[in-house]
Structure 1
Amino acid sequence: MSNTKTSVTTTSVISDFKEITKMRLSLSVVFSSLAGYLLGVDIVSVKTLILLAFGGYFMVGASNAFNQIIEKDLDALMKRTANRPVPSGRMSVNTAFIIASIFTLLGIIILYSINKQTAMFGAISIFLYACVYTPLKTKTPLAVFVGAIPGAIPFMLGWVAATDNFGIEPGTLFALQFFWQFPHFWAIGWFLFNDYEKAGFFMLPTGKRDKGTAVQIIMYTIWTILVSIIPVFGFTGALSLSIVAAIIVFVLGLGMLYYAFRLFNEMTEKAARQLMLISVLYITLVQIVYVIDKFIG
């Protein structure tokens, strides 16, 4: 009986740990930073890849843990988040704060061991996410703009980790992931509108599910597509894209744009959910195409 209880406790501790650090989201962020590293590096260092993966995970995990501490009372109001470790009472605020603090320290130390700029951008992302984006969510839809900054740092962070240099190349990677986040987050804000409303979060640009929001989703999707093909024109320094790769990336963008227009036409939660899923697929495939193109070309 005690063995069963221990295994249940262990399982719940692991699942709570995954929840407090938002493991799936954190791993997708790590994927972005590793893609950025592969794009920037001349000779791949497995050691740096591992350091970047762990450092990146700790930084994102810390941001998510701080976020859940700050929003614990609001999370309790939403069906989607009520069962998270802190609002449900399974984990104390103190425990969550210790995890977040240890993760912050580990993340900064590991990223600092790669180079100082990587650690600096990692620290900036934690600060903006926890101290600016999180409090703004209940105040203004502009919170999404602020949140898009730390959200766009990982892709760029990988390049900085590879080169110890911030220039046009990581700037372009940052811009791509920055613009992409608007259709992605607004799609989430659309299909979770009622849940967000309960907690008083302002996630949509117009504050409601209307044509104005749908039009802005289309506009930012177009910006994302335009930024994604800029490297083919040869003025983004060492970040380049072959014509074939640019066409593939452009077609992927048109696929996402199709779902953005579909949301505009249908104005449904289902259409918003489909756009969100397609946006995740889009950014993942674009990063893969960028990396493959570099190593083939």
Structure 2
Amino acid sequence: MRLALSVVFSSVAGYFLGAENFYIAEVILLTIGGYAMVGASNAYNQIIERDLDALMNRTKNRPIPSGRLSVNAAFAIASVLAALGLYLLYIINPITSLFGAISIFLYVSVYTPLKTKTPISVFVGAFPGAIPFMLGWVAATGSFSIEAGTLFMIQFFWQFPHFWALGWWLYEDYKKGGFFMLPTGKRDTSTALQIVLYTIWTILVSLIPVLGVTGKLKLSYLGASIILALGLFMLYNAINLYRLRTEKQAKQLMLASVTYITMIQLVFVLDKIVREWE
């Protein structure tokens, strides 16, 4: 549920950034459609990974491995959620529904099977994971543009330090299920260094709109300063992970990354509101 709510939050933030006129009906459709879309992806994922989920402490109590739900029932729920989500997004506009369908396909059919085969799965999973922020802009404007692409890139680069921190923190549990989440497959110097580097990239990409090169997606100097401060806090935690290499610090970085992406989306929205009032 937390994952679904974070996706909806990202989509609604993207909608506010792209909308010239606010339509409550579209926001409701985007909220329910996005929530259903994520629910479908998660349900299909849990069907595919049901045997592996039973091996890990983090997932062994999920409905299917715990025996509370049959595979057939789960598949029916997933299919209904997918159809409902894509239909509601289609009502907003077809391109929004298309990106929703791409997200479900990549997550279920590409990312999920790769998780037990190669660390590249995180790169593949970053694509569907980066769509929600962009999806809101597309829902508001009916088109994909440099603005939507920038929102996509912000959330795309953010995926790496976030999921690698999660993979480091839950390394032993993921190992039980045979998942390869870290870039080297180990909690080593190379992985820690890549986490620091991708954190820096995330911060830099987040600041690009202040340069005035991303069309209607703009950012004031004040907004950029706040995002930079948030980014430096996340970078501080990434450097600490490089220094200490503990599960506790990996968890701290994971939480800092969640705070970062949530707060910068709020900053972008509030920055737009303030600029329009001036």
- TM-score category, normalised to shorter length: over 0.9
Shift of 1:128: 0.3
Shift of 1:43: 1.1
Deviation track 1:47-92 (CA, whole Å, cap 9, x = no partner) reads 1000000000000000000000000000000011001000111100
User: Which residue number in structure 2 is paired with residue 37 of structure 1?
Assistant: 15
The aligned amino acid for 1:31 is F
In 2, distance between residues paired with 1:44 and 1:227?
Answer: 27
In 1, distance between residues paired with 2:188 and 2:62?
Answer: 30
Residue 260 in structure 1 maps to residue 223 in structure 2 = no
SS of the residue 2:106 aligns to: helix
1:244-283 superposed matches below 5 A? 244-283=222-261
Residue 116 in structure 1 maps to residue 121 in structure 2 = no
User: Which residue number in structure 2 is paired with residue 104 of structure 1?
Assistant: 82
Aligned with 1:128 (options 76, 97, 106): 106
Aligned with 1:284 (options 245, 258, 262): 262
User: Which residue number in structure 1 is paired with residue 63 of structure 2?
Assistant: 85
In 1, distance between residues paired with 2:108 and 2:167?
Answer: 19
Deviation track 1:221-251 (CA, whole Å, cap 9, x = no partner) reads 0010000010000010000000110111011
Residue 166 in structure 1 maps to residue 139 in structure 2 = no
In 2, distance between residues paired with 1:220 and 1:58?
Answer: 30
In 1, distance between residues paired with 2:38 and 2:210?
Answer: 31
In 2, distance between residues paired with 1:52 and 1:80?
Answer: 30
Deviation track 1:258-278 (CA, whole Å, cap 9, x = no partner) reads 000000000000000000001
In 2, distance between residues paired with 1:40 and 1:167?
Answer: 11
User: Which residue number in structure 1 is paired with residue 120 of structure 2?
Assistant: 142
In 1, distance between residues paired with 2:230 and 2:172?
Answer: 30
SS of the residue 2:56 aligns to: coil
SS of the residue 1:246 aligns to: helix
The aligned amino acid for 2:18 is G
SS of the residue 2:69 aligns to: coil
Residue 214 in structure 1 maps to residue 192 in structure 2 = yes
1:14-53 superposed matches below 5 A? 23-53=1-31
In 1, distance between residues paired with 2:78 and 2:123?
Answer: 24
In 1, distance between residues paired with 2:112 and 2:163?
Answer: 14
SS of the residue 2:124 aligns to: helix
User: RMSD in angstroms over aligned alpha carbons?
Assistant: 0.4
Shift of 1:191: 0.9
Shift of 1:166: 0.4
- TM-score using structure 2 length: 0.98
Shift of 1:24: 1.1
Tell me, which stretches of 5 or more residues in structure 2 are unaligned? none
The aligned amino acid for 1:68 is Q
Deviation track 1:19-69 (CA, whole Å, cap 9, x = no partner) reads xxxx11100100000000000001111110000000000000000000000
In 1, distance between residues paired with 2:72 and 2:245?
Answer: 42
Deviation track 1:107-151 (CA, whole Å, cap 9, x = no partner) reads 110000000000000000000000000000000000000001000
In 2, distance between residues paired with 1:83 and 1:237?
Answer: 47
User: Which residue number in structure 1 is paired with residue 210 of structure 2?
Assistant: 232
The ranges of structure 1 where at least 4 consecutive aligned residues each deviate by more than 6 angstroms after the TM superposition are none
Residue 195 in structure 1 maps to residue 173 in structure 2 = yes
In 2, distance between residues paired with 1:245 and 1:91?
Answer: 47
Identity rate, percent: 68
Alignment size in residue pairs = 275
Tell me, which stretches of 5 or more residues in structure 1 are unaligned? 1-22
Shift of 1:192: 0.5
SS of the residue 1:100 aligns to: helix
SS of the residue 1:86 aligns to: coil
Aligned with 2:37 (options 52, 56, 59): 59
In 1, distance between residues paired with 2:195 and 2:72?
Answer: 39
The aligned amino acid for 2:156 is F
